[in-house]
Amino acid sequence: MTLPLALLVLTAAAAPAMVVIDERDTVRQEPPPHGAIGMSTAYRISDAVPAPRGMEFRRRVLHRGAAIGEHPIGHDEVYYVLSGEGEVVSDGQRAVLKKGMAAYLYKGAVVGIRQRGKKPLSLIIAYPN
């Protein structure tokens, strides 16, 4: 089915303008969520997007020994490793994640991630609102 050009233009015009965010404008030092285990550098990138928004997109650097504590999730979530090494857990199942690896975590699971090794663990965390 082909839509009329007027409908296509109207649909495209209904979307808000894009938002470009420099992570340097969103950075702060804080304990990681879900237990405040150690310290981290948080880049709350999607917080700079005006509401309403459909997803969260964040970068977090877990300093040595830091962890996002185990917690239940009410949505699917992805942890993607930019650098360093970590151990992710989902309902008791553990796996090591390194640069270029991702863990796809499912709604209803109890999840968390811990920094391992000598280098900080830098990861992207994305999930729907």
Q: Give residue-wise pLDDT tens across range 48-94.
A: 999 889 999 999 999 999 999 999 999 999 999 999 999 999 999 99
* H or E segment to which residue 5 belongs: helix 5-13
Determine the Cα–Cα distance for residues 32 and 42; give it in Å rounded to an integer: 8
For Cα atoms 54, 59, 63, give the angle at the middle one, nearest 5 degrees.
Answer: 150
Q: Give residue-wise pLDDT tens across range 37-46.
A: 999 999 999 9
Q: Which two tokens stand for residue 84?
A: 């360093």
Domain annotation for the chain: domains and CATH numbers: 23-128 (2.60.120.10)
Q: pLDDT value at position 1?
A: 57
**pTM > 0.85: yes or no:** yes
If you average pLDDT over residues 3-28, what whole number do you get?
77
Q: HSE-up of 67 (CA within 13 Å, CB side)? A: 16
pLDDT at 8 over 90: no
Determine the Cα–Cα distance for residues 92 and 71; give it in Å rounded to an integer: 11
